[in-house]
Amino acid sequence: MLTLKIKRIVIILTVIILLAVFPILYYYKSSIGFNIERITGTQQGMINKYFHTKLNDESLIKNFVIKKDIEFHYCIEAELAVPENKINEIFAYYDKHKKITVEEMDEDYFRAQMYSKIGVNKDNFDYQYNIFDSVYRKALLGVSETHTQRTSTLIFTKPVDGYVRVYLYIDKLGWKLADKT
């Protein structure tokens, strides 16, 4: 009789533990590495890693926010003040990408919430980069994969007092980059 109660308790505890482990495994598979980095990493290190920059001590991080977007994916929004004479060195990675200038943008584009929120308009806008990468993450227990697109946006303003304001945005953090084959 006593052994039957012990077996029942062991079975119930096993079921409870398994039910608790499955969500943890999903969380682990999807973004545990990013969450550890979010807690232990530096702002400059994360900007350098995710935006492929080489920020130096002369650059100022004016604003840095990690938040979840509407689909509950992590994203970074940051505002930098970068010395005008160091822009090409710090953002050298983007030389191979298409630079979007004010001549290529519609006037209505600057009425978008993103631009008005950061105070960028047609008069102070210089150029921007939009980078789209394919990313994926494995579902629970690695049975399947979910693929989507990661967006990186870098907006550069015209220099003021020797500094360029740079606005950075990237989403789908914690997802792995897919092979570009």
Mean pLDDT over each residue of the chain, to the nearest integer: 84
Give the model confidence (pLDDT) of 18-28 as tens digits: 877 766 665 55
Identify the pLDDT of residue 107: 73
Identify whether the C-beta of residue 137 lies closer than 8 Å to the C-beta of residue 122: no
At 67, list the tokens.
């938040």
Q: Which residue has the higher pLDDT, 2 or 110?
A: 110
Identify the pLDDT of residue 53: 94
* Confidence check: pLDDT of 37 > 70: yes
155 closest CA partner among 91, 86, 83, 67 = 91
Q: Which 8-state DSSP code applies to residue 154?
A: E
Q: Which residue has the higher pLDDT, 181 or 178?
A: 178
How far is Cα 116 from Cα 104, in angstroms, rounded to an integer?
A: 19
Determine the average pLDDT of the residues in 128-148.
Answer: 78
How far is Cα 18 from Cα 88, in angstroms, rounded to an integer?
A: 52
Give the model confidence (pLDDT) of 49-107 as tens digits: 999 999 988 999 999 999 877 666 788 999 999 999 999 999 999 999 999 888 888 77
The three-class DSSP label of residue 30 is helix
Strands (E), the chain: 60-68, 74-83, 100-101, 125-138, 145-157, 163-173, 176-177
Q: What pTM was estimated for this model as a whole?
A: 0.77
Identify the pLDDT of residue 143: 66
Determine the average pLDDT of the residues in 30-58.
Answer: 86
